[in-house]
Structure 1
Amino acid sequence: MNCLIIGKVWPEPSSTAAGRRTCDIITALQLEGWQLHFACSAQQGAHALDLALLNVQTHRIAVNDAGFDSWVQTLAPDVVIFDRFMTEEQFGWRVAQHCPQALRVLDTSDLHCLRLARQEALKHAGVPQLHNETALREIASIYRSDLTLMISDFEMQVLQREFSIAEDLLAYWPFAVPPLAEPASFEARQHFILIGSFLHPPNLDAARWCKQSIWPQIRAALPQAELHCYGSYGDRYAGELHAPKQGFHFRGRAEDALQTMAQYRINLAPLRYGAGLKGKVFDGFQSGTPTVMTPIAAEGIGPLADWSHAEPEAFVAAAVQLYRDASAWQARQAAERALCEARFSAAHWQPQLVKTLRQAIESRESRRQQNFIGQMLQHHHHRSTEFMSRWIEAKNQR
């Protein structure tokens, strides 16, 4: 099979969970012998993964460029995966026109309309409004696609409940975690860690909230403890976050998140809004570092009611207890790793991706015929988006 992945950005698995997600997809497809191409219109960052080392052919493409049409027609992919709905908006109509037999797959990474609704609700102390402008675009993209990969089963329920998305348009495919290594002991670790890319607004909010409302209480109970805050692309916030006299240390980028986290006793994930599965929580699973998390951070992982805490006081109490109590810490570590292996094992999930895509390919024509809303949106999208793109293209050639 010949598969083209069109990326919103070049993947940086050492920086973001979205980059890790892309690598999970690449690994799963290559294990089944698929030929992979990755194309992107964005600039390649200094920390972008060298996809050539993974035997992935890379291509630079441009938005509003008719050259994409002949290129993708020559490439003739069997499957095209769009990394987030923005790339489907930009290139989906071109793929549909010039490679009509290709299975068009959307990978949401996380449900953007849900994350933005929660962000606005937090900002204005209101209730999340899911039927927002982003939802109009994202849900339309889901309908135009033959299949949408969902990283969170919670988000699948949201789509079915709030937007009446048919179940056969969605496929659950979460993080695929490799076998877990033996973790460092309680005694070999000290201090707290908070980690996350600062290009992602929920992580900046979490760091600020932690510094203001959570860490002072933990520090009062554990005067010798320190919190080390790591984050790619966070240097601009160093002056705001670095407060060594309060035991809050901004450490910048962690080149190896798992190796770095393995040195710490407790992983803090105080996310107040967001969506999808949280890479920082899975870093905790893999490094054997128990995580104190909010319900947002725990979402989509499983039955974690006893492990997540929305209020600062409960969050602090859990963090202090796990930091002090070796037996409680060891029990939590074992339970987290058991949950990870039971629900997110790569041995189970890696083969499932190709199986899911092959089934969708076999039923492609019937799927499209049954998806009238998708046909309707393709019809109008071709006209509105294509004509705008053609106009921009013509303007750029003047």
Structure 2
Amino acid sequence: MPAQYQVTGDNAAEISASIESGVMRGDFVWGSPLPAIRALAGDLSVSPATVAKAYQELRRRGVIEADGRKGTRVRSRPPIATERSLMRLPVPEGVLDLSSGEPDVRVLPSISSALRRIADDTGPPQGYASAIAMPELIDIARPRLAADGVPMENAAIAATSGTLDAIERLLTAHLRPGDAVAVEDPGWANLLDLLAALDLRAFPVTIDQEGPHPESLAAALHSGARAFVVTVRAQNPTGAAVSAARAAQLRGVLSVKPEVLLIEDDHAAELAGAPLHCLGPVTESWAFIRSASKPFGPDLRIAVVAGDETTIARVVGRMRLGTGWVSTVLQRLLVCLWLDEEVTSLVRHAAAGYARRRELLREAFRERGLAVEGATGINAWVRVPDETRAVGLLRDAGYAVAPGSLFRISTPPGVRITISPLDESSIPALADAVATATGPPGLTTPSR
């Protein structure tokens, strides 16, 4: 806890409100440890039970989390509007930011011509009821998904405001607070924080480069997980992609649990760099999500969701009660980009560039005796003996990477490296720095 911030309160509600205020003002950064229960109880002259109740409420709302023997800490993305971002530490000037997880803005296609085209031909005005998912979007999305192997014969389609929006609507439509969700470990930090904010429990499922381990998924489902969220390719943070053989094994595990909600995340889509192997539909409730943000840019906050009729109806029903629909401007823009041959060529070129960087990175790491995971997508995962030391030494060498604690539940330490900002010529120097940062203490990290 920052020395300048003092928790106050005479009861559980006041104590939790005091901590929440500290988070809101930015006095706590992500990962900030909270005082031990008995220590804080002594400072405030209250019972340990009172402090424990305050911490329990903050955990229930996803503000803080237990960190094993290290105690309790602030989550990476607590569901509170803050004065400054808590997700990532600031990157000093002169340090190359490899921590963002974002696509390379240098290879994103320009959407200006597509915007001009839809401005010239927007069609008739859209009423509220007809704007959930435009027929043009559905007509193009259906064969596009089918061509990639998504089973579309009996699938319904909806549009949401991105992948995380779709996952939240799917989970809240099927689950109740306290339910368990099987998730990849290590897995997407935003998803872990969303589950905490929804008061859902995350059951870790270990993974390798072919996807989740079937026996680990079986254990999670046997323990009561009511949903399973899987990244079919370009997994964040490890770059894993579900292989054909692994997909068959996972279907076998899921087939004996038909009541489980299966959510498949294809966030990288055209940039993934690997064939798609769908798991569903194998359970009664299933959804496949394809986002447009990675290939076309973060401004295109839209995802297409395919799934069984009941599941998609629940998503659309929830949208009608809340935001209502995804902007038809965004829907028309996505259609326009999908149909533009020049844009398609640019995205294909970007995917090839990512593939080249991934291969050069893996080769440079192998030459230095380092193991790196990241066969698809825009991220690589490097296991390290000490995350804090590795992150600090790499920052000193001129590279900002993401600590694995953001993504891990119970798997060994690691760091995530986003390859998007890397030029091919800079990869050997990065590999040298990682070799030093993950080696025995006492070595000097070369400057970039």
TM over 0.5: no
Structure with the largest fraction of helix: 1
TM-score, normalization by structure 1? 0.28
TM-score, normalization by structure 2? 0.25
